[in-house]
Structure 1
Amino acid sequence: MSEITDVPVKLPAAVEGFVMHWGNLGGQWGVNRSVAQIHALLYLSDKPLHAEVIAETLGIARSNVSNSLKELTGWNLIRRVPISGDRRDHFVAETDLWEMVTRIAAGRKEREIDPAIAALRVCAAQAEDDPAVGAVARRRLKAMLDFTQTMEGWYAQMLHVPHATLAKLIRLGSRIVRYLPVKPEA
């Protein structure tokens, strides 16, 4: 994106398209559209932006921008940066895609997976002690808990794999699968 100053800019079509599309995707992922649009704008910006420019550029209310910036800061997807001679807060986005995805995954795990595992543990334990709960329900609760804990364990392992190694593993894709013994499901 070209230089961004204190004046709102007319975004190039590709940038505007990405910002709008990212906003729509955010809505599908359970993220407020404005939050996602601001993230997209900051991600593509080559200069730190302050809230007024963001609000004017995207046509979003200043209060909405402020709340969205707080949310993005809480997710550790953006950070404040000082600009010499300007007392306003300016923001930049994390631009390393691996780091960004890792932070999003960590936030979602904390907000969604951890509470789900805690609830499943309680429900599975209660089901084991309650004769009114049928064997099928007990088995399915245990299977869901086991699956969720397995995925949590895999996630924890992947956090320690260097990004370059993860990228290689992902690119290998189906070439790895052909070396694994695959049994047809019943």
Structure 2
Amino acid sequence: MKLNPTTEKFVLHWGEMGSKWGVNRTVAQIHALLYLIGKPMNAEEIVETLGVARSNVSNSIKELQSLNLVQTTHILGDRRDYFTTNTDVWALARVIMEERYKRELAPTVAFLDELIHSPEFSHENKEVQGRIKDTHLFMESISTWLNEIIKLSTPTLAKLLKLGTAVQKFLK
């Protein structure tokens, strides 16, 4: 499949951003392609469109599936696997937030909790104890906030984001 110039630019940019977000460039490009095309694609179509190795596509699809960003589907009369992603950017953002929470925030909160409750913690100097407790409280607060944000309806979340720093008025 030959991509239109705008689609190609988006896919290339998303790939570059992916590496800054901690995912492989091809992983991000495949996700961007599936998102923009909005229809199921099989691995061969993805290989042909992006010009990457079949093994790279297979590994990238597995990673996207582990992140809950890509699903496998089938087309009647075709034995191949086809891949899709949600085309609702808000739903994708929620999935990404949930996955990042599970992989990054939750383990850190658990580690800090375990550290604070370990026998050796009481032997640490008070400044270090205070910083670790502050970090734990901060990470718990971020986790709670993120889990609440994920539950908001899309219109409510959109309004909240549009408020930006104006939200300060409501907090005074």
- Structure 1 length normalisation: TM-score? 0.86
Q: Deviations over 1:41-92 (max 9, x none)?
A: 1001143110011011111110110111111122221212221221111111
Match of 1:109 in 2: 101
Q: Deviations over 1:140-164 (max 9, x none)?
A: 0000000000111112222322121
Supply the AA of the counterpart residue of 2:129: R
Q: 1:11 to 1:145 in 2, by over 3 A?
A: same
- Structure 2 length normalisation: TM-score? 0.93
Q: How does 1:162-177 map to 2 (within 5 A)?
A: 162-177=153-168
- Listed as ranges, the gaps of 5+ residues in structure 1 are 1-8, 182-186
Kept in 2: contact 1:38–1:54 (CA 8 A): yes
Larger helix proportion, structure 1 or 2? 2
After superposition, the CA RMSD in angstroms is: 1.6
Find 2:33's aligned residue among 41, 49, 55: 41
Give the aligned length.
172
Supply the AA of the counterpart residue of 1:27: S
CA–CA distance in 2 between the matches of 1:174 and 1:22?
Answer: 28
- Listed as ranges, the gaps of 5+ residues in structure 2 are none
Kept in 1: contact 2:38–2:87 (CA 8 A): no
DSSP 3-state at the match of 1:159: helix
DSSP 3-state at the match of 2:79: strand
- % identity of equivalent residues: 44
